[in-house]
């Protein structure tokens, strides 16, 4: 399922697998000035290819290597042979052989599917990608994943934020994400002069600094409470019950891969100012 909206020069594609007549767990791709930023999940790849038929696409920039963000890369490349793919070098390692490098949990196979392998060129912090009439600066923003990038159009103050910022007050996290890196990356983009933020899902934000600041404050406050309770001898399970609210359906759907407990554990793994000799094993993680 595809929904198409426009924000001036930017075309937004909301993409999802259709199940029981509805799109489930949407992700978002963007087209700007001859460039695609992410391409959605494999199950919506054919629909995206049809939507961009006849549109000049010269580049694909991937924010990270999760299957719901590069699922149409290969199919778009087949329909537009001139397309160049760019991503962080660690993302390219996954994208070149996703079935081997990134085995999917059952829920991910059902909702998004296995992406086709593709090849690309590496990006790093400080690189500039030139589009047809503009340019995008590459920002390395790890946390959601180790290979996460954001793309800034500095002249207009546009940020394509991938899954770094999608809004809301997080009560759960993926098992491999790093909450302290997320906070550091959010702090970085909070200092930019932004007029529009184009997220990897959820609504586009106008003048988003206030919302980014609110999210940083929320995450830091929650982290402080998690560490205080852990210092009092409380286990991760006890902290979850006290701070993270009731169980969420997504925890059962993902078999715990995305859960309240994973959020708490991430706070405990690498807290700020942890002495180098102190390991996560010394904390009460169970």
| Residue pair 13/40 in contact by the 8 Å Cβ criterion | yes
Q: What is the pLDDT of residues 67-94, one digit of tens each?
A: 999 999 999 999 888 899 999 999 999 9
Q: What is the residue range of 106's domain?
A: 2-173+189-208
pTM of the entire predicted model? 0.92
Cα–Cα distance for residue pair 174/256, rounded to 1 Å: 9
Residue 63 domain-assigned (yes or no): yes
| Residue that has been written with the tokens 């982290």 in this structure | 223
DSSP state of 40: -
Q: What is the pLDDT of residue 277?
A: 36
Between vectors from CA 30 to CA 213 and to CA 195, what angle results, nearest 5°? 35
Q: What is the pLDDT of residue 281?
A: 35
Cα–Cα distance for residue pair 194/153, rounded to 1 Å: 9
Q: Tally Cβ neighbours within 10 Å of residue 251.
A: 17
Q: Which of 283, 26, 40, 66 is nearest to 176 (CA)?
A: 66
Residue 257 domain-assigned (yes or no): no
Residue 232 domain-assigned (yes or no): no
Q: What is the pLDDT of residues 10-49, one digit of tens each?
A: 999 999 998 888 888 889 999 999 999 999 999 999 999 9
Residue 159 domain-assigned (yes or no): yes
| Residue that has been written with the tokens 């809004």 in this structure | 167
Cα–Cα distance for residue pair 85/221, rounded to 1 Å: 39
- Do the strands 135-140 and 128-130 form a parallel or antiparallel pair, or are they unpaired? antiparallel
Backbone angles phi, psi at 99, to 5 degrees: -70, -30
Residue 58 domain-assigned (yes or no): yes
Count of structural domains, the chain: 1
Instruction: Indicate which CATH number applies to the domain containing 31.
Output: 3.60.15.10
Residue 80 domain-assigned (yes or no): yes
Cα–Cα distance for residue pair 82/85, rounded to 1 Å: 10
Residue 94 domain-assigned (yes or no): yes
Residue 95, both tokens: 């994208």
| Residue that has been written with the tokens 């309770």 in this structure | 229
Residue 131 domain-assigned (yes or no): yes
Q: What is the pLDDT of residues 212-221, one digit of tens each?
A: 999 999 999 9
Q: State yes or no: pLDDT of 107 exceeds 80.
A: yes
Cα–Cα distance for residue pair 180/199, rounded to 1 Å: 20
Cα–Cα distance for residue pair 2/13, rounded to 1 Å: 6
């Amino acid at each position: 399922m595809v929904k198409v909206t426009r924000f001036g020069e930017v075309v937004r594609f909301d993409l999802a697998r259709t199940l029981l007549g509805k799109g489930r767990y949407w992700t978002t791709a963007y087209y700007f000035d001859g460039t695609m930023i992410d391409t959605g999940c494999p199950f919506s790849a054919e629909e995206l290819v049809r939507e961009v038929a006849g549109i000049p696409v010269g580049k694909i920039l991937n924010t990270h290597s999760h299957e719901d963000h590069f699922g149409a890369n290969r199919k778009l490349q087949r329909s537009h042979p001139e397309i160049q793919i760019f991503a962080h070098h660690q993302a390219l390692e996954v994208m070149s052989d996703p079935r081997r490098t990134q085995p999917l949990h059952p829920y991910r196979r059902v909702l998004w599917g296995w992406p086709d392998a593709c090849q690309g060129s590496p990006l790093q912090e400080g690189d500039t990608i030139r589009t047809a009439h503009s340019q995008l600066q590459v920002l390395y923003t790890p946390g959601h994943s180790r290979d996460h990038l954001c793309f800034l159009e500095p002249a207009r103050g546009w940020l394509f934020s991938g899954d770094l910022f999608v809004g809301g007050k997080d009560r759960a996290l993926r098992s491999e994400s790093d909450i302290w890196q997320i906070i550091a990356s959010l702090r970085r983009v909070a200092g930019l002069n932004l007029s529009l933020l184009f997220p990897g899902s959820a609504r586009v934000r106008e003048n988003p600094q206030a919302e980014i600041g609110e999210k940083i404050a929320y995450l830091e406050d929650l982290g402080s409470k998690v560490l205080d309770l852990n210092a009092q001898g409380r286990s991760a399970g006890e902290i979850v019950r006290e701070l993270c609210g009731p169980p969420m359906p997504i925890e059962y759907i993902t078999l715990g891969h995305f859960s309240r407990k994973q959020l708490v554990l991430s706070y405990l793994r690498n807290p700020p100012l942890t002495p180098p000799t102190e390991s996560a094993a010394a904390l009460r993680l169970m």
